[in-house]
Amino acid sequence: MSFDIKLTSGDIEYGSDGDLLQVTGRDKLEQDLAKIMLTRLGSDPGSSAYGTEIRNVIGRRLTQDTLQGLVGKSVRQAVDLLQSLQFVQSTTQEVTFDEFIGAVEALAVRQASLNRVTVELSIITVAGLRVIFSRDIGRGG
């Protein structure tokens, strides 16, 4: 089964025994989606293709069509990359059908304010599970 270190609000989680906690299955997919969606495209030193344009549009006045087009395309590319990474990972670890991306079911992007963008993404796994990424991303409260 594939796994990752469990993160909560960006911080590594430790068990009561001091060991790192792991995240697997559907929870791992949810964490993987959050990591790639919240990473600014081009900022990951390991891969310039990892991340999205979401943070690049914060503070810009864009029409809904432009926002949906730019961020929507970027989110879909990120999901495609994540799916490719799952295939690579499956050569060394078992990636369960609960976490393997099957398809994007729905994607909506809207500007909540000049400094905040709301992204709602629904993924269907190969096992048929629905995994939702819904986040208000930006600056301020």
Give per-residue pLDDT as tens, 13-30.
777 887 877 788 899 999
CA distance 100 to 46: 22
pTM for this entry: 0.86
Give 138's contacts (C-beta < 8 A, 6+ positions apart). 58, 112, 113, 115, 116, 117
Give per-residue pLDDT as tens, 43-101.
988 889 999 999 999 999 999 999 999 999 999 999 999 999 999 999 998 899 999 99
Question: What is the phi/psi pair of residue 126, to 5°?
Answer: -60, -30
CA distance 78 to 49: 8
User: Is a pLDDT exceeding 60 seen at residue 125?
Assistant: yes
pLDDT score at 3? 59
Quick one: DSSP state of residue 90? T
Which CATH number applies to 3-138? 3.10.450.40
Residue 27: closest CA among 10, 51, 11, 4: 4
Q: How many CB atoms lie within 10 A of CB 97?
A: 12
Query: Which sequence spans correspond to the domains of the chain?
Result: 3-138
Give 63's contacts (C-beta < 8 A, 6+ positions apart). none
Of residues 139 and 134, more confidence is placed in: 134
**pLDDT bucket at 106, cuts 50 / 70 / 90:** very high
